[in-house]
Chains A and B, each alone.
Chain A
Amino acid sequence: MTAAQLPVLSNEPGAEPSSSEAPAINPCTLCAPLGAVLVTCGVRGAISLLHGGQGCATYIRRYLISHFREPVDVASSSFGETQTVFGGEDNLIRALENVERQYSPEIVAVATTCVAETVGEDVPLLLKKFNGRRAVPLPVVFASTPSYRDGHIEGFHAMVHSFVDAFAAPMAERSRVVNLLPPLLSPADLRHLREVIQGFRVSATILPDFSETLDGAIRQEYRALPPGGTPIEAVAQMAGSLATIDLTMTGKAPRASDLLAKRGTPTKILGLPIGVRATDTLVEALEQATAERQPQWMADERGRLLDAYADGHKYVFGKRVCLYGDPEWVVALAGFLLEIGAHPVVCATGARNHALEEGLRRYPEGSIDEVLQDVDFSRIEQACRRQNVELLIGNSKGYSIARNLDIPLVRVGFPVHDRIGAGRLQVLGYRGTLALFDNIVNTLLARQQDTSRVGYSYL
Chain B
Amino acid sequence: MPFEVLEDRRSQIIRADPHRVAKLGCGKASAAGSVSQRACTFCGSRVVLYPIADALHLVHGPIGCAAYTWDIRGALSSGRELHRVSFSTDMRETDVIFGGERRLEASLRSLIAKYSPKAAFVYGTCVVGVIGDDVAQVCRRVELDVGIPVVPVMAEGFRGTKRDGYNAATRALLSLVGRGDTSGIGKVSINLMGDFNVAGESWVIRKYFEAMGVQVVSVLTGDGRVDDISRAHGARLNLVQCAGATTPLAQAMEERYDIPYIRVSFFGIEDTSDALYRVAQFFDSPEIIDRTRVLVRDEVSRVLPVLRSIKRDLQGKRAGLYVGGAFKAFSLVRALRQLGVVVAVAGTQTGNQQEYEELQATCDRDTIIVDDANPLELASFLVEQDVDVFIGGVKERPVAYKLGIGFCDHNHERKIGLAGFEGAVAFAREIHATATSPVWNLMPRRASRPREMVP
A binding-site residues for B, Cβ under 8 Å? 18-19, 21-27, 29-34, 49, 52-63, 65-66, 69-81, 83-84, 91-92, 94-99, 101-103, 113-115, 118-119, 146-149, 151, 216, 218-224, 397, 400
Residue B403 lies at the interface, judged by CB distance under 8 Å to chain A: yes
Query: In the complex, which residue of chain B has the Cβ closest to the Cβ of A114?
Result: B127
Taken residue by residue from 65 to 97, chain B's Cβ proximity to chain A (1 for < 8 Å, 0 otherwise) reads as: 111111110000000000001111111111110
Cβ-defined contact, A218 with B66, below 8 A: no
Identify which of B34, B66, B103, B157 contacts A75 (C-beta below 8 A): B34
Cβ-defined contact, A216 with B85, below 8 A: no
User: Which chain B residues border A21 with CB–CB below 8 Å?
Assistant: 102-103, 106-107
Could you tell me the distance between the alpha carbons of A196 and B30 in the complex, rounded to whole angstroms?
Answer: 45
14 further interface pairs, Cβ-Cβ under 8 Å (given A54-B39, A94-B31):
A22-B110, A27-B67, A31-B68, A58-B395, A73-B375, A75-B35, A91-B32, A98-B33, A101-B4, A102-B376, A148-B96, A218-B403, A220-B448, A400-B71
Taken residue by residue from 114 to 145, chain B's Cβ proximity to chain A (1 for < 8 Å, 0 otherwise) reads as: 00000000000111011100000000000000
Provide 11 A-B residue pairs closer than 8 Å at the C-beta atoms, listed in order of the A residue. Answer: A56-B64, A58-B40, A69-B398, A75-B34, A81-B159, A94-B8, A95-B32, A101-B6, A103-B376, A148-B127, A223-B1
Cβ-defined contact, A70 with B402, below 8 A: yes
Could you tell me the distance between the alpha carbons of A221 and B376 in the complex, rounded to whole angstroms?
Answer: 12
A66-B394, A114-B127 are contacts. A71–B399 as well, Cβ < 8 Å? yes
Cβ-defined contact, B31 with A27, below 8 A: no
Cβ-defined contact, A118 with B127, below 8 A: yes
Could you tell me the distance between the alpha carbons of A270 and B91 in the complex, rounded to whole angstroms?
Answer: 33
Q: Measured between C-beta atoms, what is the minimum distance from A81 to chain B in Å? A: 6
A49-B33, A62-B68, A80-B160 are contacts. A98–B397 as well, Cβ < 8 Å? no
A21-B102, A81-B160 are contacts. A92–B32 as well, Cβ < 8 Å? yes
Cβ-defined contact, B103 with A102, below 8 A: no
Residue B158 lies at the interface, judged by CB distance under 8 Å to chain A: yes
Cβ-defined contact, A98 with B126, below 8 A: no
Query: In the complex, which residue of chain B has the Cβ closest to the Cβ of A113?
Result: B126
Cβ-defined contact, B63 with A27, below 8 A: yes
Residue B42 lies at the interface, judged by CB distance under 8 Å to chain A: yes
Most buried by A among B63, B111, B130, B402: B63
Identify which of B40, B160, B394 contacts A65 (C-beta below 8 A): B394
Q: Measured between C-beta atoms, what is the minimum distance from B147 to chain A in Å? A: 20
Residue B29 lies at the interface, judged by CB distance under 8 Å to chain A: yes
Identify which of A53, A71, A94, A98 contacts B375 (C-beta below 8 A): A71
Residue B22 lies at the interface, judged by CB distance under 8 Å to chain A: no
A25-B87, A219-B444 are contacts. A99–B404 as well, Cβ < 8 Å? no
Q: How many A-B residue pairs have CB under 8 A?
A: 241
Query: In the complex, which residue of chain B has the Cβ closest to the Cβ of A221?
Result: B1
Cβ-defined contact, B40 with A54, below 8 A: yes
Cβ-defined contact, A27 with B90, below 8 A: yes
Most buried by B among A75, A98, A397: A98
Residue B325 lies at the interface, judged by CB distance under 8 Å to chain A: no
Cβ-defined contact, A24 with B129, below 8 A: no
Cβ-defined contact, A76 with B33, below 8 A: yes
User: Which chain A residues border B40 with CB–CB below 8 Å?
Assistant: 53-56, 58
Query: In the complex, which residue of chain B has the Cβ closest to the Cβ of A92?
Result: B32
Cβ-defined contact, A27 with B394, below 8 A: no
Identify which of A96, A114, A151, A397 contacts B33 (C-beta below 8 A): A96
Cβ-defined contact, A222 with B383, below 8 A: yes
Residue B445 lies at the interface, judged by CB distance under 8 Å to chain A: yes
Identify which of A65, A149, A397 contacts B93 (C-beta below 8 A): A149
Cβ-defined contact, B157 with A56, below 8 A: yes
Taken residue by residue from 24 to 52, chain B's Cβ proximity to chain A (1 for < 8 Å, 0 otherwise) reads as: 00000111111111111111000000000
Residue B304 lies at the interface, judged by CB distance under 8 Å to chain A: no
Cβ-defined contact, A18 with B92, below 8 A: yes
Could you tell me the distance between the alpha carbons of A119 and B156 in the complex, rounded to whole angstroms?
Answer: 14
Residue B185 lies at the interface, judged by CB distance under 8 Å to chain A: no
Could you tell me the distance between the alpha carbons of A56 and B159 in the complex, rounded to whole angstroms?
Answer: 14
Cβ-defined contact, B32 with A98, below 8 A: yes
Cβ-defined contact, B89 with A23, below 8 A: yes
Cβ-defined contact, B131 with A118, below 8 A: yes
Residue B320 lies at the interface, judged by CB distance under 8 Å to chain A: no
Could you tell me the distance between the alpha carbons of A52 and B157 in the complex, rounded to whole angstroms?
Answer: 9
User: Which chain A residues border B33 with CB–CB below 8 Å?
Assistant: 49, 75-78, 94-99, 102
A29-B63, A65-B394 are contacts. A76–B6 as well, Cβ < 8 Å? no
Could you tell me the distance between the alpha carbons of A216 and B399 in the complex, rounded to whole angstroms?
Answer: 12
Could you tell me the distance between the alpha carbons of A96 and B6 in the complex, rounded to whole angstroms?
Answer: 12
User: Which chain A residues border B374 with CB–CB below 8 Å?
Assistant: 102
Cβ-defined contact, A30 with B395, below 8 A: no
Q: Measured between C-beta atoms, what is the minimum distance from B58 to chain A in Å? A: 7
Could you tell me the distance between the alpha carbons of A59 and B397 in the complex, rounded to whole angstroms?
Answer: 15
Q: Measured between C-beta atoms, what is the minimum distance from A424 to chain B in Å? A: 15
Identify which of B36, B64, B94, B404 contacts A218 (C-beta below 8 A): B404
Residue B61 lies at the interface, judged by CB distance under 8 Å to chain A: yes
Cβ-defined contact, A118 with B126, below 8 A: yes
User: Which chain A residues border B131 with CB–CB below 8 Å?
Assistant: 118
Residue B401 lies at the interface, judged by CB distance under 8 Å to chain A: yes
Residue B194 lies at the interface, judged by CB distance under 8 Å to chain A: no
Residue B443 lies at the interface, judged by CB distance under 8 Å to chain A: yes
Query: In the complex, which residue of chain A has the Cβ closest to the Cβ of B349?
Result: A58
User: Which chain B residues border A31 with CB–CB below 8 Å?
Assistant: 62-64, 67-68
Identify which of A114, A119, A216 contacts B61 (C-beta below 8 A): A114
Cβ-defined contact, A80 with B379, below 8 A: no
Cβ-defined contact, A222 with B379, below 8 A: yes
Q: Measured between C-beta atoms, what is the minimum distance from B124 to chain A in Å? A: 12
The list of the 4 closest CB pairs from A to B, nearest first, reads A55-B40, A31-B64, A98-B33, A95-B33
Cβ-defined contact, B126 with A114, below 8 A: yes
Cβ-defined contact, B67 with A23, below 8 A: no
Cβ-defined contact, B30 with A76, below 8 A: yes
Cβ-defined contact, B68 with A149, below 8 A: no
User: Which chain A residues border B37 with CB–CB below 8 Å?
Assistant: 58
Query: In the complex, which residue of chain A has the Cβ closest to the Cβ of B34?
Result: A98
Could you tell me the distance between the alpha carbons of A63 and B374 in the complex, rounded to whole angstroms?
Answer: 17
User: Which chain B residues border A114 with CB–CB below 8 Å?
Assistant: 61-62, 64, 125-127
Cβ-defined contact, B29 with A78, below 8 A: yes
Q: Measured between C-beta atoms, what is the minimum distance from A403 to chain B in Å? A: 11
Query: In the complex, which residue of chain A has the Cβ closest to the Cβ of B380?
Result: A222
Q: Measured between C-beta atoms, what is the minimum distance from B417 to chain A in Å? A: 20
Identify which of A24, A74, A97 contacts B35 (C-beta below 8 A): A74
Query: In the complex, which residue of chain A has the Cβ closest to the Cβ of B97?
Result: A148
A149-B92, A222-B399 are contacts. A24–B66 as well, Cβ < 8 Å? yes
